[in-house]
Amino acid sequence: MQSHGIPRVAATTLDKSEQARNKERKQIIQYQALERDVVDRVKAKDYSDTTFQLTSQLLTQNPEYYTIWNYRRLVLQHVSARELAADEEPSEQDAAAANKAGLPPAQHEVLLLIKEDLQFLIPLLKQYPKCYWIWNHRSWLLGTATKHLPAHSAVTLWQAELGLVSKMLGLDSRNFHGWGYRREVVLAIERLSSNGDGEKGSGSGNMVESEYAYTTKMIQSNLSNFSAWHYRSQLIPRLLSSRSADTNARQEFLNAEFELITRALYTDPYDQSLWFYHQYLMATLNPANAQALPVLEPCGRVEHARYLEREIGSVREMLEGAEDCKYIYQALLEYSGRYLEVEAEGGEVALGEMRGWLRELRGIDPLREGRWRDLERKMGL
């Protein structure tokens, strides 16, 4: 299993003794019987609690069997619908508990169902943190909560999710399932907390500052975090508008981000995720780039040229002591190319220097010779 370069001690050694093989054979027979049972029941539209328990058993053994997750949801849907449509009086106990939770009894039952299932998923998630279907089922459960329950109940569940996903990312900060899920959770909390006032920028539900701070924390504990840097880049436009940042504030912000990434690049210029972020920052200055929203205001040719000049100078200095780092040469060539388009007469770079960089690049990475030849042609070197 992928472990992002962190070595794990082997859990068990392969034991092919006769005893072990017999045990395994029994397990296979039992599994196949269980599977048949579940499939038969669902075919017969048996959405009883027994069926539900059987899916639990099956999924604990094989959470990747996505059909069974679908079946489980069929059962849950069936039970929730029945609860919500219920005409019968709830028991005293149930009524009291529902009252305490501030919910009508039917909805409280649904909440309990959802909570139980979320609980069921936790050990599975710990063991299989990268199984799409587990994350998917969690998502579905919370979506069901949002649909059937009042905002105040649902948002509590979502906030617990934020805690869970932070813990998962603490265990493996490069698990992209975790990061994607985090965005979903944050969005849900913001929606549910904004109380329909529509204004996503303001209001108590706005989490952009705390999320930005979270990316800072994650980067500091592991620089090589593509997901954290990416998330940060996604947050920036909303962050600045939520702060109502003016021209000066925006300039200060951009300069601070460049300072941060430069510090990181000096620490480790061989880390590609850092260069991606540097490229993102540069892209925000490029009016022709529709993907990266501008940070500065205004942001025209003058600003673009100024930052290109500054960064080319800065990256050039990074070469000292890292002459074998191909990313530096790539960055220099890319930014120089852009610079010459923006400021054809600008003196920051000379063609001769660029040719030198390309030569170095070819020497360091001969396997990509084709790519460098294309680059040479494109840039007219």
Partner 1 sequence: MDSLDNTSWDVVVTGTGLPQSLLVLSLSRSGKQILHIDRNDYYGGDEAVLSLSEAEQWVKNHGGDASERADSTYSHATISHLDAQEGGAKKLGFARAYSLALAPHLVYARSNLLPAVVSSRTHSQLEFQAVGSWFTITAPPDGSPPRSRLTRVPSGREDVFRDDSLDLRAKRSLMKFLRFVASYDEENEQQRMEQLKSLPLSVALKQHFGMNSTTAVAPLLALALPTVSEIETTVEFAVPKIARHLRSIGIFGPGFSAVLPKWGGLAEIAQVACRACAVGGGVYVLGKGVMNATRAEDAEDAEDSKLRLELTGGEKVTAQWLVGCPPDLPHTISTPIPSQASSAEYMAKNISIVSSPLTSLFPPTAEGGVIPAGAVIWVEVAGSSSPSVRILVHSSESGECPAGQCVLYASLRGDPSILDTAVQHLLESVGEQPTPKVLWRMQYRHYTETEQPRGTTTSEGVVMLQSLSTDIVLEDDVLTDVEEAWRKIMGERAEGFMKFESREGVEEDE
Question: 189 is written with which tokens?
Answer: 């909390």
Choosing from 1, 2, 7, 43, the residue that interacts with partner 1 (CB under 8 A) is 7
For partner 1, the closer of residues 123 and 170 by Cβ is 170
For partner 1, the closer of residues 210 and 267 by Cβ is 267
Rounded to an integer, what distance in angstroms lies between the CA atom of residue 71 and that of residue 81? 15
204-223 residues near partner 1, rule: CB under 8 A = 217-218, 220-223
The answer for residues whose C-beta is within 8 angstroms of residue 206's C-beta and 6 or more apart is 190, 194, 200, 242
**What is the contact mask toward partner 1 in residues 245 to 264, using x (rule: CB under 8 A)?**
-----------------xxx
Give the nearest distance from C-beta 279 to partner 1 in angstroms: 19
Choosing from 1, 2, 9, 18, the residue that interacts with partner 1 (CB under 8 A) is 9
263-282 residues near partner 1, rule: CB under 8 A = 263-264, 266-268
CA angle 78–81–82, rounded 5-degree value = 85
Give the nearest distance from C-beta 173 to partner 1 in angstroms: 9
Rounded to an integer, what distance in angstroms lies between the CA atom of residue 121 and that of residue 59? 10
**What is the contact mask toward partner 1 in residues 299 to 338, using x (rule: CB under 8 A)?**
----------------------xx----------------
Choosing from 23, 36, 167, 355, the residue that interacts with partner 1 (CB under 8 A) is 167
Output the CA–CA distances (angstroms, integers) from residue 157 to 34, 35, 214, 240, in the order listed: 32, 32, 20, 29
Q: Report the candidate in 275, 293, 273, 296 with the shortest Cα–Cα distance to residue 283.
A: 293
Cis peptide before 298 (omega within 30 of 0): yes
Query: Are 265 and 273 contacting, i.e. CB atoms less than 8 angstroms apart?
Result: no
Query: Are 222 and 174 contacting, i.e. CB atoms less than 8 angstroms apart?
Result: yes
DSSP 348: S
Q: Tell me: does residue 21 bind partner 1 (CB under 8 A).
A: no
Site residues (vs partner 1, CB under 8 A): 6-7, 9, 167, 170, 217-218, 220-223, 262-264, 266-268, 321-322
